[in-house]
Amino acid sequence: MTRIALIAHDDEKPEMIDFAESYQSYLSTVDIVCTGTTGQRIAEATGLEVERKQSGPLGGDMEIGAEAANDRIDGIVFLRDPLTAQPHEPDISALLRICDVHDTPLATTRTSAEYVLEGLAREDGHELD
């Protein structure tokens, strides 16, 4: 089954929830994996079933990166906060790098996230509303 990672920094969590609501019908057909707090917020807001890793600062980005390194992830939406320094910046950079290495589709903005989801949905033969 298609496996999609959803990750958002704190300032971007409202945007991520809005995004997940917009694509809820498609997201309900795939496996979703999230960093801890993002997953909790998405599950509460949408009722979608999500697998939650550690929170980002506690290693969640690295857990998702490990899956990307094993080609287990079909796409990642990572809404980063471009204006706030993160204590776990090395982990974030490592995740982005491993996506480059494995050609894992990665979106870091709302519009690029829409393009990635639309591409994955098309591959899955899912009609978006």
Active-site annotation holder among 18, 31, 61, 71: 61
Residue closer to ligand 13P by CB (options 91, 121) is 91
Write down the least CB distance from residue 59 to ligand 13P, Å. Answer: 10
61 counts as catalytic: yes
Is 9 annotated to bind a ligand? Reply is: yes
Say how far apart CA 24 and CA 27 lie, in whole Å: 5
How would you classify the pairing of strands 51-52 and 31-34? Answer: parallel
Binding to ligand 13P in span 63-102, by CB under 6 A = 92
Say how far apart CA 39 and CA 69 lie, in whole Å: 21
With CB under 6 A as the rule, give the number of residues binding ligand 13P: 12
Rule CB under 6 A: choose which of 5, 30, 50, 61 binds ligand 13P: 61
Binding to ligand 13P in span 17-46, by CB under 6 A = 35-38
What is the b/e burial string over 45-76, where b = at least 16 CB atoms within 10 angstroms of the residue's CB? bbebebebbebbeebbbbbbbbbbbeeebbbb
Catalytic positions are 61
